[in-house]
Amino acid sequence: MDEVYYSSTRDSSKKYKASEAVLQGLAPDGGLFVPDHLPALDKSLEELSKLDYKGVAYEVMKLLLTDYTEDELKNCIEHAYDSKFDTPEIAPLHQVGNAYYLELFHGKTIAFKDMALSILPHLMTTAAKKNGIKEEIVILTATSGDTGKAALAGFADVPGTRIVVFYPKGGVSPIQEKQMVTQKGDNVKVIGIKGNFDEAQTGVKMMFNDKALESELLGKGFRFSSANSINIGRLVPQIVYYVYAYTRLLAKGDIADGEEINIVVPTGNFGNILAAYYAKNMGLPVKKLICASNDNKVLYDFFTTGKYDKNREFHLTISPSMDILISSNLERLIYRIAGNDAEKNAAFMKSLRETGEYEVTPEMREGLKDFYGNFATEAETEAEIGRLYKEADYIIDTHTAVASAVYGKFVTDTKDADTKTVIASTASPYKFTRSVMRALDKDDASLTDLQLTDKLHEVSGVAIPPAIEEIKSAPVLHDNVIEKDEMESAVKGFLGI
């Protein structure tokens, strides 16, 4: 099989095997690991349409994680996509007209992060064995809401690992917070910071890039890695569900073999839509990648003008997982449209770090033709939840609603109402009960967010997920809230250093 090696977006001179990139998470120079090429799918779409989710996962992931043996990779997949998902389809499609909502929330923590974070611990512990790693792996993660719980659930009590999750206190939904602070496991720690997600993410990256801290940790038997979408072990499994969605449409006869589809993704850190872009570049017939933003529309402005500028007001919205102004995974796209020029990319990232902005060249903007960007306001997001419920008796969460509303704008702008379109449905409406019920004009201020889940059940007829039932009476096990400059000392305290 064609071997794929990884290098940093900021220095392409050193090559790493896939398992080494998964273990490290972030490249030593602060860049992100990218494959030296994107191999083409080596099974036809027709052949893939006859496989189940695990089968498709293997056929996609084997192409990019080339130093994992067949047995190792199949073992990781088998342990990841099992009965922790509440449907054998793993990621079913819900059709409304020419739009197909790809439900990525049927895992343990009812958000799309489960799709990759169910397998990452297995990829990582397998990689540690392959590479003779003796140190305990310390997963450091910043979350805007969903990654945190999915990572905690994935790594809880996994031998040879510990995990520390930082989240913006007051910047996640009450249910997201309750999911995290009730997490069991001797190896887990959840910490709120007085700041926003970008500040939490910056703090984590600073620890990754601190060579003195790295040396100190190694001396004590620890090494850092990441469960954020900056880890290539998160990104590769996300490519799978776009390929899977296409092959389900093909199997049902809703599209012809080779027919192009559109993909819409509610976007914050850019990892989920980047996975769709990689799928397209591996041969999936995708016409347009539709990047949907909320009021924090830094990505919409970038696709419109070619200028990335994080110097703006930060908005707390009803789609909090997208409340991000520094979209880390965009760096992988910038590297690619710069002609895989690490030096050029490093200069852009230096400018972002020092001035908060950069502007790509007209030639690079040509490389963005695959994308369409737009955004939905809070009012438009709420209206879309109401519209889908009224017209299709289908209830979506606030992030999926951003994507759905932006898809409506795309159709208006391009007049392309005929192309079958997959909309990434990234979380269960039960995760954002208050906002969803308010959008349906059925809110009850006398009830807590968790109590409102019973009302949402009455309205939707959809069973309350076990993830919600479990936290209703679960005790709070993590109540630390710190200043953002105390993150390093909090990690050291947890590790007993």
Output b/e per residue, 77-113; b: 16+ Cβ within 10 A.
Answer: beebbeebbbeeebbbbeeeebbbbbbbbbbbbbbbb
**CA quadruple 72, 75, 79, 82: dihedral sign:** positive
Q: Is 26 in contact with 230 (CB distance < 8 Å)?
A: yes
Cα separation of 77 and 108, whole Å? 16
Q: Is residue 113 annotated as a catalytic residue, yes or no?
A: yes
Catalytic residue, from 17, 108, 113, 130: name it: 113
β-bridge partners, 93? 102
Q: 307: which strand partners?
A: 359
Strands 11-16 and 6-8, by their bridges, are antiparallel
Q: If DSSP states are collapsed to H, E and C, what string results for the chain?
A: CCCCCEEECCEEEEEECHHHHHHHCCCCCCCCEEECCCCCCCCCHHHHCCCCHHHHHHHHHHHHCCCCCHHHHHHHHHHHCCCCCCCCCCCCEEEECCEEEEECCCCCCCECHHHHHCCHHHHHHHHHHHCCCCCEEEEEEECCCHHHHHHHHHHCCCCCEEEEEEEECCCCCHHHHHHHHCCCCCCEEEEEEECCHHHHHHHHHHHHCCHHHHHHHHHCCEEEEECCCCCHHHHHHHHHHHHHHHHHHHHHCCCCCCCCEEEEEECCCCHHHHHHHHHHHCCCCEEEEEEEECCCCHHHHHHHHCEEECCCCCCCCCCHHHCCCCCCCHHHHHHHHCCCCHHHHHHHHHHHHHHCEEECCHHHHHCCCCEEEEECCHHHHHHHHHHHHHHHCCCCCHHHHHHHHHHHHHHHHHCCCCCCEEEEECECHHHHHHHHHHHCCCCCCCCCHHHHHHHHHHHHCCCCCHHHHHHHCCCCCCCEEEEHHHHHHHHHHHHCC
Residues forming the active site: 113
